[in-house]
Each structure stands twice: as C-alpha cells, then as structure tokens.
Amino acid sequence: MLRQELGGDLFADHNLFRDRVDQALKDLEIKPSAAELKLILRAVSWRVETAPPVIAKTHKPGKAKADPLRGFFSLAPSDGERAGVRGKQAAIVEYEPDPDLRDTEQVPLLEPGGIEAFIRREVLPYTPDAWIKEDATKIGYEISFTRHFYQPQPLRRLDEIRADVAALQMETEGLISEIVKGVS
C-alpha cells in the first residue's frame, strides 16, 4: 500500500523521503511503531555519499545554539523548510550519525585543552563533519594487567630441548622402521 501511495520515484534526499512516508502512512491511517517504521525505512533505502545529511532532530530557533563540535548544526533560512522550520531564522538541527562511519578515540586523561582540543587537532582536519557524542563520552583510566602483572615462565635450558629433540628422533625412527617392515 505504501508503494502504491508513494509511486516508484527515487528520492535523493532521505529527509524528504521520510516526510513523504509519514504523510502516506497518515493518509492510509496506518500507525506503525517507531521500531517498525525504522525497519521499513531501512528496507527501502540505502546510503548515498552525495545525499544531504539526515536530520534526526530540529530545535526551535532560539532554543539551542549552533555548536558543530557537539553535533548542533545551523541550517540557513533557505534550508529551514527542509528541517520543517519556516521563517527567517536559521534552524538548529542534529543529524543522524551514520553507524558505518562511527568511530571512537582514546584521549589521554591529561590532554592539554581536553577532549575538544584533541578532536580539533587530531580529528577535524581529516573529518570536518565529526562531532563529540557527549552521552557516550567515558572518562577513566586503562590499566594494562599484562603490562603490570604478567610474569613470564622461565625458558627451558638448551640441554633439555636437545634431549626432547633426540627422544622425538628415536621415536620417529622406530615408527619408520615398523612401517617399512609392514610394507615388505
């Protein structure tokens, strides 16, 4: 029913596609759960590098400030309609992170300038649209148990190794002679 309602058009903007799906479901009086809707959208769409970013949440003008390092991006008033905001003010949006591009960094605990300085210096020059996910940030210290508590076993002496090799040679020669006797 959804395919008949939307037609066979290909959408280059997932935001527009999602709005059209929402409207089509409303017209058809179908109310899927959030998980079902997510599955439907995932089944009929795919990732395209050149597509505009997918908007996860739009903040009302004046309620949030743009902070790209924290994932709050400003949309120009001309793009505000794409985010569902009308008016002359810029909209503040949060984009959906792409799970395929998600990455983590281990920042030294005593990093001068903290996490922000590290991200600006080490990440943003290579990935300018990266941001810090504050609720996933963990502060702690890693203790390498292997490094601090590992006690290696002492190596065997050379004469013990020679004795083992000689015993294996004797055993092997005995097996070969038995095989040869069985063949003749």
| pLDDT higher than threshold 90 for residue 102 | no
* pTM of the predicted model as reported, rounded to 2 decimal places: 0.61
CA distance 163 to 169: 10
Tell me the average pLDDT across 156-163: 95
Q: What is the pLDDT of residue 59?
A: 85
pLDDT in tens, 41-79: 888 888 888 888 888 888 877 788 888 888 888 887 666
Q: What pLDDT, on the 0 to 100 scale, is given for residue 162?
A: 96
**Predicted pLDDT at 78:** 62
Count of other CB atoms within 10 angstroms of residue 91:
25
Element holding 79 (H helix, E strand): none
| Total residues belonging to the chain | 184
108-158 residue pLDDT tens = 888 899 899 999 999 999 988 899 988 888 888 888 898 889 999 999 999
| C-alpha distance from residue 83 to each of 13, 74, 124, 150, 182 (Å) | 12, 11, 25, 56, 85
User: What are the extents of the domains in the chain?
Assistant: 1-52, 53-96, 100-153
- B/e letters for 36-61, b = 16+ CB within 10 Å, e = fewer, are ebeeeeeeeeeeeeeeebbbeebbee
- Return the axis-axis angle of helices 34-43 and 14-27, rounded to nearest 10°: 120
3-state secondary structure (DSSP) of residue 74: strand
Tally of helices (H runs) and strands (E runs) in the chain? 6, 3
Higher-confidence position of 80 and 12: 12
DSSP state at residue 157? P
Confidence of residue 86 (pLDDT cuts 50, 70, 90): low
Report the distance separating Cα 82 and Cα 150, nearest Å: 58
